[in-house]
Chain A
Amino acid sequence: MPEPVLEVRNIHTYIGQFHILEGVSLSVPKGSITVLLGRNGAGKTTTLKSIMGITPPRVGEVIFDGQKLAGKASFNIAKLGIGYVPEHRAIFRDLTVAENLQIAERRKGDLAARQDFIFELFPDLKKLYKLAGGNLSGGQQQMLAIARALVPENRLLLIDEPSEGLAPVIIEALMNAIRRLSESATVLLVEQNFRMASRLADRYVIIDDGASVQSGMMADLVNDQATIQRYLGAA
């Protein structure tokens, strides 16, 4: 197995007085697409937020590229090379497509260097460049949210529920894009849509009731109907 780019070791996260994550551990190998699976409310999104320092864990360690992330603010974590695409198509609705992309530049010229790749992945964005983000369709907004994470040189992309509420044809385009971008960055994905997840990911981690309960190769999980039924309730 390639060396891990991200390691999460037994993290416990609280939101207010609620103990949300009660022991999540996972390892994301370099160059892989790893998916976090689990039922609604299992703690998948909180795991991504804990990695990004939005809801920092009180116990446990998050290590990115050999560096411990404890105590770092989320903007410093992002600067280390982690792109975060939150759920619900988290774009800036008042900014244009161009501004949404420009704002993600960490160094001058980041966008110029990667815009060909971005427009190749998401050709629609080129046509809609001057429109406000709020005027885009759901699928276009999701593409923009992912594209924004591609502007700077990120080595790890955390993508939360990219297929949520999208039409099948858009999901297919998104899957192709995520596959393409995994050629240059490691991807950790949260996905409810098991069909999409199983076709896309190399590896999986199942989170149940705030704890990681199982992980391994996706090819093995697809044949393990008992585990799928037990934790995901999907066939």
Chain B
Amino acid sequence: MHIQKGFQWRAVGKNWLLIAAFILLIVFPFLVGVLTNTDPTARRGLSVYWQGIMIELLIYGILTMSYNILFGFTGVISFGHALFFGLAGYLMGAFQRAPELADGGLLIGILVALVVCAGIGLLIGVATLRLKGVYFAIFTLAIAEMVYIFLSRYEYTGSEDGFTLAALPEWFDPTRSRLTFYYIAAAIFVFTFILIRRLMESPTGAVLLAIRENENRARTIGFNTLTYKLMAIVLAGILAGVAGILFTLLNKKVGPEMLGTAYTVNPLLMTIIGGAGTLLGPAVGAMGLRLLELQLRNVQIPLGDVVLDIGRILPIILGAIFILVVIVFPYGIVGTFTRWRLNQRARHAERLAKQAEALKSVS
């Protein structure tokens, strides 16, 4: 009994940061409500505004975590991740607004979108995962661009404008029930994080890391690395699809921009800034960078007679931040911190071993 209690406390101690973040996620709408003296359950107000921003950050977090499965954990660089994000949005939207499906269209759309994302991931994987490095990346880019061009010119999908969704059920509508939608997005974000964490703590996760480090070496131990890479691309595709569905529901609109390179390049940069191959890094990178972008977008600084519009030079600022982070934190923010902590631990173990050795020689 005592052992079990001790273990549980140790687990809590080890995960205090995650538990604190989880609690913050739950109380966030009410905390903002109290701080801004607004009602988190209302349709308007600062709390609701911040819930909207937070939902967007959570969606970016899911998208970036999904990209991290490929790039960070398995070492596969894809330039076509937006394909899953955008296509899932289109498919869900197409079914959701089909009048003959009525209310069932949403659920059918979500299921079809996820199954198609998994299927496309599998097909791309089978066809191309034997390609190494940049060749695989270029192939995925070509596929994503192909779908982008097709959907942006196809009349049924609204060409360049895309299309809006039909009315959503009130309880699920991000405009009318923002708080409910916030908790749905938060629950999916937490589920994604736990799923990836469980995966990476399992033997399968160790094999993915081994593939990232040296695929040939992993093969000579006895692993069919292609199977593991396929699993990674399918899972990453499904999770990117989930992010795309949430994004479409939040905006109640889908357009070809969701298949654009921005939704591949941004997760890549966010993963690098947060720490590729770490669990928390991509979420930290995605949420931090997107929050910064949203906050700086409307800032204007008066400089004498002229007004400096930060929004107009935002890409330059973000580029400078990216360069700075890469120089100061070569393994990303979380990655560099984790490495520093592991090195400290290794040095400590070395010191203890030397002390033990010295004591042994004295006695």
Contact = CB atoms under 8 A, between A and B. Distances in A.
Interface of A: 52, 54, 73-75, 78-79, 84, 86, 90, 92-95, 99, 102-106, 127-128, 131-132, 135, 148, 152
Nearest to B225: A75
Given A90-B214, A92-B213, A52 B220 contact: yes
B69 to A, nearest CB: 16
B349 interface: yes
A106 B222 contact: yes
Contacts of A105: 203
Contacts of B219: 54, 73-75, 78
A6 B330 CA distance: 46
A86 B216 CA distance: 10
Interface in B213-247: 213-214, 216-217, 219-225
Contacts of A106: 222
B110 to A, nearest CB: 36
Interface of A, secondary structure class, is: loop
B220 A103 contact: no
A105 B220 CA distance: 13
Interface in B345-363: 345-346, 349, 353
A123 to B, nearest CB: 12
Nearest to B345: A131
B317 interface: no
A156 B222 CA distance: 14
Contacts of B222: 75, 78-79, 104, 106, 152
A148 B221 contact: yes
Given A103-B203, A103-B206, A103-B207, A75 B346 contact: no
Contact of B216 (A74, A102, A104, A132): A74
Interface in B181-217: 203, 206-207, 209-210, 212-214, 216-217
Interface in B113-158: none
A54 B220 contact: yes
A78 B343 contact: no
Contact of A103 (B210, B225, B345): B210
Contacts of A135: 342-343, 346
A43 B343 CA distance: 38
B63 to A, nearest CB: 24
A148 B220 CA distance: 11
A78 B206 CA distance: 18
B342 A127 contact: no
B221 A78 contact: yes
Contacts of A73: 219, 224
Contacts of B224: 73, 75
B292 to A, nearest CB: 29
A52 to B, nearest CB: 5
A131 B216 contact: no
Given A75-B222, A75-B224, A102-B203, A90 B210 contact: no
Contact of B209 (A79, A94, A128, A148): A94
A92 B209 contact: yes
Nearest to A145: B217
B342 A78 contact: no
B223 A132 contact: no
B220 A132 contact: no
26 contacts: A74-B219, A78-B220, A78-B221, A78-B222, A84-B220, A92-B214, A93-B213, A94-B213, A94-B277, A95-B206, A99-B206, A99-B209, A103-B203, A103-B206, A103-B207, A104-B221, A106-B222, A127-B349, A127-B353, A131-B345, A131-B346, A131-B349, A132-B342, A135-B342, A135-B346, A152-B222
A103 B214 CA distance: 13
Nearest to A84: B220
A74 B226 CA distance: 12
Given A73-B224, A86-B220, 16 more contacts: A54-B216, A54-B219, A74-B220, A75-B219, A75-B223, A75-B225, A84-B220, A90-B214, A92-B210, A102-B203, A105-B203, A106-B222, A127-B349, A132-B342, A135-B342, A152-B222
**Most chain B C-beta atoms within 10 Å of own C-beta, residue among A79, A92, A135, A148:** A92
Contacts of A90: 214, 217
Contacts of B203: 102-103, 105
A59 to B, nearest CB: 22
A135 B217 CA distance: 19
